[in-house]
Amino acid sequence: MLMRSLVKFGSILLAIVVAASTPAFAAGNDGINAFLTQTAYDWNHGNLDAFMRGYENAPTTLYISSTKVIHGYAAIRARYASHYGSSMGVLSFSDLTTRMLGPDYAVVVAHWHLAMTNGTHPTGIFSLVLHHASSGWHIIDDHTP
């Protein structure tokens, strides 16, 4: 039983190593950087609908704040609309770290900075789980406490 488990683990590890050397993994970071640049651009132009295209439009998409878990695309959009309305400010990211989990999944961790029109400058750290579909990268889990 132990030997079978070790062989299975070795096969999984080999599959990860082989997959990590494929072009999909190497190209992932560039696509993710472009994705994040686009989401910041959409936010900074006050276009919540365009910004929300970065999220997977599914009831399984999650947003985890410091106090609760929000389930589903529609509820996440409603949260952004109620918190920011037409005063979205200027969003930027720094200290970006991307870890590819496979050719179609990645985790991104970074600092976010928001310059609001009222002079406040909220900031924090987020982590995103991204999924790559035929339409591009989409957030499936957003942890922004």
Owner of token pair 């919540």: 48
Look up residue 107 and give its two tokens. Answer: 């985790």
Which of the two residues, 15 and 121, has the higher pLDDT score? 121
pLDDT for the residue numbered 28:
64
70: left (phi > 0), else alpha (psi -120 to 50), else beta?
beta
Domains of the chain: 23-143 (3.10.450.50)
pTM: 0.80
Q: How far apart are CA 93 and CA 113, in angstroms?
A: 6
Between CA 123 and CA 128 the distance in angstroms is 16
Pairing type for strands 62-64 and 69-71 reads antiparallel
User: How far apart, in Å, are the Cα atoms of 64 and each of 12, 73, 115?
Assistant: 30, 13, 22
> What residues contact 22, with CB distance under 8 A and at least 6 apart?
103
- Tell me what pLDDT residue 30 has: 84
* Res 71 pLDDT > 70: yes
